[in-house]
A and B are shown apart, each in its own frame.
Chain A
Amino acid sequence: MTATTTVATRPGAGLAPSAVAVALRTIRKFVRTPQLIVVGTIQGALFLLIFRYVFGGSIGVGGLPYVDFLVPGFVTTTILFAGTGAAAGVAEDVEHGFFDRLRSLPIPRLSVMAGRSLADTALLGFTLAVTTAIGFAVGFRVHTDLAASLAAFGLCVVYGFAFEWMFITMGLVARNAQAAQGLSMIVFPLTFVSSAYVPVATMPSWMRPFAENQPITVMVDAVRCLTQGSRVEALLPHHTAYYVGMSLLWTVALIAAFAPVAIARFSHR
């Protein structure tokens, strides 16, 4: 008897409100931890400056200035470096019992993962905007139109959402922030062995098959084509549509591979 009345008074929140509550918390944490924003921004800016002015001079990409080649790659790979922070954040939530509390509440378990991934993607949008602005400041220019550039930026956000599920999974598996940082080392081969900073053609032949076919390369090439148009297409074996299509396929594949794992892992008893 008592149980039924108790149940009636505590129905628990639905999917959307609980996802919003979880997302709001992640965003508040970011906004109220200025060192996260300042350190992240400075770090990104420094690396961009190093590539642009230190390495850039000796990297020939043919047909276009290195800064126009670099910035699309740099902005796209920002997704991965920001994602390592998300993995650490998720691992911390496991470590400090926050996820235990959420899992003991009468809410859909999907909502926690949905809230987290959406919030992290929104924060990523901010980081991408800052990085892009710095890119323009050091001389990057769009050689297509506004619509294509906005599409490029939108694609980056979509890639970020897809990779977010990989980072959430890593955080859940690692279960503490340090282990999560260790697992995050995977971002180095993904970013550097790609077309992000140098043309893939300059890499040794054994490395090229990976470099040419891994998701970051097609994502970077899609963003590069959308912002540089024919100048970049001339250097690549395929057209813009191919890279955009392939990168979207990768996006779907990443979500299909990692979202179920993350949700199962979170819900596992």
Chain B
Amino acid sequence: MEHIVEARGLTKSYGTVRALAGLDLVARRGRVAAVLGPNGAGKTTFVRAVATLVQPDGGSLRVAGFDVVRQPAHVRRVIGLAGQSAAVEDAMTGRENLEMVGRLFGLDRAAARAATTAVLDQLQLGADADRLVRTYSGGMRRRLDLGASLVGSPRLLLLDEPTTGLDPRSRIELWDAIRAMVAGGTDVLLTTQYLEEADQLAADIVIIDQGRVIAEGTPSELKSRAGRDVIEVHARDRAALPLVAEALRGLGGEPRVEIATRRVAITVDTGTDRLMDAVRALDSRGIDIEDIALRRPTLDEVFLTLTGKPVDTAEPQDRRRHPAA
């Protein structure tokens, strides 16, 4: 079996909202797959379907070869889930939390204890293992939650927006923890709203919107289609915007002008070279600017480039809390 997750024409509706609208998605063995999309794209619904928490309306979904609808018990023996909120018990220590989950995975007391110690060390929580979780920071809680999904050594780890709401340092720590797990041979399917996160962690990226796949590929494939970097010029006054756009034209993609913030952005392939070109072009035209910056494209910009339309922010949010979920 080559695919750890295989979704074909997957559909799921909540009332009139189509969370999944014929999703085709394949995650390969031995690789980290990232499902990237805006709020309401269907990411969470998809992960919940893979985790057997949500029953799809139509299509097929196989996890490690097992059908999620007909063989949910088999699927549950293969997966580990870390959802959006850290589902750890505040009134227990980190160690007690993991031992409990280990026991639920069917490990005997000694095995649960050993697995817990190994996971705590792996996530660098060993020193805090015997403190109550209510004294943990947000980043530590997320890492412990990750540990809870790991303690049963799942074949496939499901991470739903693992770093949402974390500060940059905790985010990087969590990324390191995820990379360490991947090195240990666990397959990972993660969802994220951040292109950078997908780029950092995943070998394959699937971009979804409104319950459908709109683009997929390796990070470098997607970046070469969407532009690797963005040059953004902040003009000193509004009247200069057309001149700025004109100066940047030809360096990369079509300049996008945002009048309200007095900014012009273009996507480019080789950031630093083009940045020099942009500075020269602006200088030779005598255009006065507030500042100029080189940055990574945001998900919105990737969307715009790949689909020609902006992220529809008016779309309702994913229904994260389905009945009894």
A residues near B (Cβ < 8 Å) are 1-3, 6-7, 9-13, 17-18, 21, 24-25, 28-29, 32-33, 94-107, 172, 175, 265-269
Contact = CB atoms under 8 A, between A and B. Distances in A.
Contacts of B321: 94-95, 175
Contact of A105 (B76, B84, B322): B76
Contacts of A13: 103-106
A106 B155 CA distance: 13
Interface in B104-129: 104-106
B89 interface: yes
B308 to A, nearest CB: 36
B53 A269 contact: yes
Contacts of B53: 100, 103-104, 269
A102 B81 contact: no
Contacts of B64: 2-3, 6
Contacts of A175: 321, 323-324
Contacts of A97: 83-87
B153 A9 contact: yes
Q: Which range holds the interface residue count of chain B? A: 35 or more
Interface string B38-80: 0000000000100111110000000011100000111011111
9 contacts: A6-B64, A6-B78, A7-B74, A28-B92, A32-B132, A95-B321, A104-B51, A105-B76, A175-B321
Given A2-B64, A12-B77, A33 B100 contact: no
User: Which applies to chain B's interface (DSSP): helix, strand, loop or mixed?
Assistant: loop
Given A97-B83, A98-B89, A18 B96 contact: no
A25 B89 contact: yes
A94 B325 contact: yes
Contacts of A265: 323-324
A3 B147 CA distance: 22
Contacts of A267: 324
A268 B54 CA distance: 8
Given A24-B100, A28-B96, A269 B76 contact: no
Contact of B105 (A7, A29, A105, A269): A105
Contacts of B89: 25, 28-29, 98
